[in-house]
Amino acid sequence: MKLNLTRFFTVRKVLSLLLICAIAYSTYSIYYKVKYWGFSLSPKAVTDVWTVDAKISFRALGGDVKVSLAVPNDRDGFKILSEEIVAKGYKITQDKINSRVVLEGKDKTGKQNLYYRLSIYDDAQNVALNSLLPAKINRPILSEEETIQMRKIWELSELQKGDKIQKAILAINQEVNNPTMSLILPLDHTAKEFAEKVIQVLAYKRIPARIARTIKLEEGRKTEKPDIMLEAYYDGHWTLYDLNTAKIGLPKNWVIIQRGGVSLLDVKGGEDSTVVFSVLKSVASPLKMAEHRAKAHDELWSYNYSMYTLPVFEQNTLKWLMIFPLAILVVVIMRNVVGVSTMGTFTPMLLAMALVRTGFWPGLICFSVMIALGLVMRALVAKLNLLLVPRISFVVIFVILLIQVLTVVGYRLNYTIVSSAIFFPIIITAWIIERASITWEEEGAVNTLKEILFTFITAVVTYFVISNEYVRHVMFAFNELNLVILFVVMLLGTYTGYRVTELMRFAPLIHKEN
């Protein structure tokens, strides 16, 4: 029985199972982060952030002033990044229930300019329509003449295409200049009056409807007035209609800033009031928006325990750390699967890390020069027959002084190649020099150069993996992948196949048999 169990739970099987679990978990976690936090697989992905500025201008009449502006509300599904009100000398009240900002000022005279700024992000045009049920509406009380017109419009609407509401909108549009229609709608009607008429026509059939004020998100756009569209509650849900074309839905890059028939701006104690909207587009990285998105999705709890809430310094350190496991994986593959021998297990990894900071060619050239100088110096010192620890200490101090000189000279002469010396790990550099010189004495130049070359090749491969912008982004944004790497590395610990270099090394054993 015991034997069967051990056969069933071989190390490899258990590790494979854990790896599958890690992959499953990572997949879910990536999906979760993309969906709820808006993370992107690409480091270049940006989120559009639209800043909508409302400038309220009016002339105060010399007494108390009360300004009330309709504003978007979280409840309507707006993804609001920030809200800002600039109104010096005014008392600001946010009326969340009615979605209005109320500004009150005392003894104001002359021209007044007040600002309301709103930043919205993410599919702003795709705002979920308010799912609240409309209040039950009554048929409007109409005169006999108006009733006839209503009926006529609904009759005419049968000739149009689309759903019931689209038909009505198109019919009203067509008949707007018809003398019979002019009775209900003046010829020089405003968009708002037109919308109110449509609402009235729909109300005749007991279809609830309301005005939606929208603006187009367009870089640098200034509009005096938001465009008016119509939302109607039909078939159990709210639908948005264009009042001219009767098209359903919000066109791309438009945003609803306010709903309902109430006035956009009320000014008491002032005259000639206007509100001008202007739109500005900016971009932000998805990582920065994650908190807002998590909040919008009610998933803040998980976000709060992620590393993305840490201060920037800690985050940058972790971002650097999160790339290590991948670098380690590269080293493991190079050593156990490819089969190159390097000086020190993780020396190539540390070298690659230094190359990331110095840049590839400057770092490689500078490092080669340092090693070469160190080897020359070490060869000279070899004649002194110093004891081991003092001798290595000499190399370490020599490397420190070399770094200092190169950095200062490089800085003065403005050669980045030279000054990149400062980024190389001192002890690692010293050990490479020491080991290379011992290998040189004992096994000859060829073996030494081979070992240095393999160390460099491994470092370069590691460098290209970890310096890739995508890789670094993915390993930071989706750090659960490190769990996958963990189990891959452990599984590689059970890899008993041939190393690539062994295929060549043992080649004589093939020709022998055949």
In order, the DSSP letters of 46-59 are -EEEEEEEEEEEEE
**CB burial readout 428-453, b (16+ within 10 A) else e:** bbbbbbbbbbebbeeeeeeebeebbe
Q: Indicate whether 385 belongs to the interface with another protein (CB under 8 A).
A: yes
Candidates 182-190, 225-233, 453-461, 506-514 — which segment interacts with another protein by CB under 8 A?
Answer: 506-514
Enumerate residues 47-86 that contact another protein by CB under 8 A.
none
Q: What is the DSSP string of 154-168?
A: HHHHTTS-SSHHHHH
Q: How far, in Å, are 263, 323, 336 from residue 461 at the CA level?
A: 65, 14, 15
User: What is the DSSP-derived secondary structure letter of residue 323?
Assistant: T
Minimum distance, C-beta of residue 404 to another protein, in the bound complex (Å): 27
Query: Counting contacts by CB under 8 A, is residue 506 touching another protein?
Result: yes
- Please say which residue, 30 or 457, places its beta carbon nearer to another protein: 457
Select from 97, 135, 312, 510 the one that contacts another protein (CB under 8 A).
510
Which range, of 34-42, 100-108, 317-325, 499-507, touches another protein by CB under 8 A? Answer: 499-507
Should residue 7 be labelled a site residue for another protein when binding is judged by CB under 8 A? no
- Sheet hosting strand 109-121, strand order edge to edge: 80-86, 109-121, 47-61, 270-284, 222-223
Residue 52 has phi, psi (to 5 degrees) of -105, 120
- Whether 209 and 231 have beta carbons less than 8 Å apart is answered as yes
Single residue of 14, 148, 276, 504 touching another protein by CB under 8 A: 504
Q: Which tokens go with 375?
A: 């080897």
Q: Is 376 in the site for another protein (CB under 8 A)?
A: no
**Residue 64 DSSP label:** -
**Binding window for another protein (CB under 8 A); candidates: 15-23, 24-32, 362-370, 385-393:** 385-393
Runs of H (alpha helix) within 191-285: 191-204
By CB under 8 A, residue 380 contacts another protein: no
Least Å from the CB of residue 30 to another protein: 32
Given a contact cutoff of 8 angstroms between Cβ atoms, the answer to whether 140 and 149 are in contact is no
- Work out whether 3 is an interface residue with another protein (CB under 8 A): no
- Position 143 contacts another protein (CB under 8 A): no
Query: x/- string (CB under 8 A) for another protein, residues 432-471?
Result: ------x---xxx--x------------------------
Binding status of residue 97 toward another protein by CB under 8 A: no
**427 interacts with another protein by CB under 8 A:** no
Could you say whether residue 514 binds another protein (CB under 8 A)?
yes
Give CA angle at 268 (263, 271), nearest 5°. 90
Q: Does 339 bind another protein (CB under 8 A)?
A: yes
CA 353/CA 249 separation, integer angstroms: 52
| 264-272, 317-325, 365-373, 384-392 -> range binding another protein (CB under 8 A) | 384-392
Interface residues toward another protein, by CB under 8 A: 336, 339, 385, 387-389, 438, 442-444, 447, 493-500, 502-510, 512-514
